[in-house]
A and B are shown apart, each in its own frame.
Chain A
Amino acid sequence: MEHLVYPTKGLSEEAFAQHQVLFETWQVKAEYAWDTGVAIGKYLDGLKNGRLIGRRCFKCRRVLVPPRMFCESCFRPTDEWVDVQDSGVVKTFSLCYVRWDMTRLKEPEIPAVIDLDGASRGMGIMHKLGEVDPKAVKVGMKVKAVWKPAEQREGSITDIAYFKPI
């Protein structure tokens, strides 16, 4: 079979700036509003007040964090609100030397999955670690939330600035 390799040339920002090629641009207006629902709404409200809220299913006894109104395991509505601790254990982590926009970082960001105390295992939430030597981070490490000052909280998962080792 004929080997199909077509002659192509890479395009640089310069090529576009100098209009070496024809191109069209447009920007999509992609604004959205996401209804947080009952459970996540309450969760975000809790974060604003410095609390982490979960939801318990009476059948499987699990505490779901973030909370949901439906137990995907038992296929039934969940039953009660529960406060969980703002401390936990590092389940897994990564040292990221590039930002989301691909710029290089000298000091790594450390995203981690943290199993919160009081929540069922496997309910880890994704967050960042801080105040820690990247080389010292270990799976199983005990960590605690560092909250933003109350007046800076806005009802977002980023109301917790990061988790630090204890």
Chain B
Amino acid sequence: MSLLNNLEHPTEARVWRGNLPVYHRYTAGVAGEKFLRALKEEGKLYGTRCPKCGYVYVPARLYCERDAAHLDEAAWVPVGPQGELLSFSAVYVDLDGKRLESPQWVGLVRFDGASGVTMHYLGEVKPDTLQVGMQVQVVLRPARERVGSIRDIAYFKPV
């Protein structure tokens, strides 16, 4: 006998409805805060170089995840504003799965002087000319529009 046979009155089937009140507040942390402030106020990009292994984190971090070294004031180094395009992709749907009128280009960029990569939008692109290895340059939003977010970088454009 299957378990289903025990359901003598299907109308008794019930659904319990609920709603989890989940509210997030995210802070960038000590190094992230400083990185975003520099982006907002100076329009400049910084990384932190690990004194032990030489790896340059962008956005700047407070510690090296490879050897746990503290990346203090002396570790801060300017990076960019240009970088190498390492990978790119065209996105045809938005976050809700709706089709976009024109594709949104995204790319992985390694800023000049950085070790890690940054993912962001590509703009002012002619799709046929995009190439892995090409130089791209950061395009910032106007100073008065910047709020201290990674979106203060509007996009990267080919040099």
Contact = CB atoms under 8 A, between A and B. Distances in A.
B13 interface: yes
A41 B62 contact: no
Contacts of B22: 27-28, 30
A23 B18 CA distance: 29
B37 A22 contact: yes
Contacts, number: 93
B14 interface: yes
B14 A28 contact: no
B129 interface: no
Given A24-B26, A27-B22, A77-B6, A34 B12 contact: no
Interface string B19-36: 111111111101001001
Nearest to B71: A6
B149 A38 contact: no
A32 interface: yes
Interface in A32-51: 32-36, 38, 40-42, 44-45
B88 interface: no
B148 A41 contact: no
Given A27-B22, A38-B6, A38-B7, A22 B149 contact: yes
Contact of A31 (B17, B28, B37): B17
A143 B1 CA distance: 38
B22 to A, nearest CB: 4
B69 to A, nearest CB: 8
A18 interface: no
A11 B13 CA distance: 48
6 contacts: A8-B30, A21-B27, A23-B26, A32-B19, A35-B13, A77-B6
